[in-house]
Amino acid sequence: MLAEIATAPASLAGPSGVLPRQDIRKLVQRNMLRSTSGAFAESQYQPASLDLRLGHKAYRVRASFLPGPNKSVAQVLSELTQDEMSLEGDGAILERNCVYVVELMESLHALPTSISAFANPKSSTGRLDVFTRLIADRSEVFDTILGGYSGKLYAEISPSSFSIRVRKGSRLNQLRFRRRGSMQDEASGFRLDDKELQKVHEETPLVDGHATIRNGLNFSIHLAGSHEQETIGYQAQRFTDVIDVDRVGHYSVGDFWTPILARPNKRLILDPHQFYILASKEKLHIPPGYAAEMAPIDPTMGEFRVHYAGFFDPGFGAGAGGMPGSRGVLEVRSHEVPFLLEDGQVVGRLAFERMAAEPDALYGAIGTSNYQGQALKLSKHFRS
């Protein structure tokens, strides 16, 4: 089913904050957000973001890059491209540890100066250990588009653990929009401070149990099982078959992942440069008027990262009676040295932002909510 592009313009005025999907539709209606296919699929609209689709060709490049203020992405590609691959039909395989750039089907045209855009990988992309970033023409940073932008959008894609098959229309990342007020700049003044966040938690619990709020909502790692044979995580295998990103519920877990069983000491030592799927000890809930993002870990807390795709839509984790009902799934990689994790250790934090308005449909109420009510869960590509 395709979302029709209305002919009557829709107003883009409103409060500051992250735009809900009904306001993203307005960008489409005003022809500021366009698609090379001429239409958008209904399933692209998430509560607070839009899924982006790969275009018809992938470029294998020598290195990751930013075009800088005076160049387009196409100009840099002409210098760095090693190979070109068609993504039409059955698509192409993107090999692990290589870097690719793909022009997206979506583009922006005369984005209002009061509205900026930010990208992040989809949850399923992060859980496959696929590193994905958005690149725009004349940009000096990844994943960020300043107000007033007109031009094409590109995805940089670098699979790490598994080689993947993609095709035209595959969705690896998503775009959020943020409207700012007259007293706000592009990127500051949106996140809730700790006092505001504590008040939100008192009104609508953000976690089950005590909330540790310190520069955001802190969360910890779950490594304790109810018995020694309980799976508390997965480690990616190194030599596997290719994963088709458009196949859902298709692959056997054992062909790609090694289960990690609970241990009496409730510890886990991360091997350097290995990839793990683990879960938070806390169950989470994102209230309807807010969105949340995993903030980068403080380096003083350890040399590892716990997020590749760390964006949480409004409504995520809503359980019975509105109580928190979903654990946060963590994509974990140690850097240069082995690192010891213990059950209950704080490993990250969530930064909350206000929505400009509550979405007309929350996470869990749309057909693409693959991770509502999750505990420890691999990406949607694997059989339960």
CATH class of this structure's domain 194-354: mainly beta
CA–CA separation, 256 vs 242, rounded Å? 10
In sequence order, what are the residues at sequence separation of 6 or more whose Cβ sits closer than 8 angstroms to the Cβ of residue 340?
267, 268, 269, 270
Q: CA neighbours within 13 Å on the CB side: how many for 86? A: 3
Q: Does the predicted TM-score (pTM) go above 0.75?
A: yes
Q: CA neighbours within 13 Å on the CB side: how many for 185? A: 2
- The one-letter code for the residue type at 43 is S
DSSP state of 198: H
Same CATH fold assignment for domains 2-179 and 194-354: yes
Check the CA dihedral 91-92-97-102 and report its sign: negative
Do 257 and 238 meet the contact criterion of CB atoms below 8 Å apart? Answer: no
- The one-letter code for the residue type at 165 is R
Enumerate the domain spans of the chain. 2-179, 194-354
Instruction: Pick one of 2.70.40.10, 3.10.105.10, 3.40.50.150, 2.40.50.100 as the CATH number of 2-179.
Output: 2.70.40.10
Query: In the β-sheet with 217-220, what is the strand arrangement from edge to edge?
Result: 217-220, 346-354, 290-295, 311-312
The pLDDT tens digits along the chain (384 residues) read: 444 444 445 678 789 999 999 999 999 999 999 999 989 999 999 999 999 999 999 999 999 999 999 999 999 999 999 999 999 999 999 999 999 999 999 999 999 999 999 999 999 999 999 999 999 999 999 999 999 999 999 999 999 999 999 999 999 999 999 998 766 665 556 899 999 999 999 999 999 989 999 999 999 999 998 877 899 999 999 999 999 999 999 999 999 999 999 999 999 999 998 999 999 999 999 999 999 998 866 666 665 666 665 799 999 999 887 789 999 999 998 888 899 999 999 988 999 999 999 999 999 888 778 888 889 999 999 998
CA–CA separation, 26 vs 42, rounded Å? 14
What DSSP assignment string belongs to 129-161?
TEEEEEEETT-SSSSEE-TT--EEEEEEEEESS
SS3 375: coil
What DSSP assignment string belongs to 252-312?
-GGGTEEEEE--TT-EEEEPBT-EEEEEEEEEE---TTEEEEEEPPPGGG-SEE--SS-EE
pLDDT score, position 184: 63
pLDDT score, position 224: 94
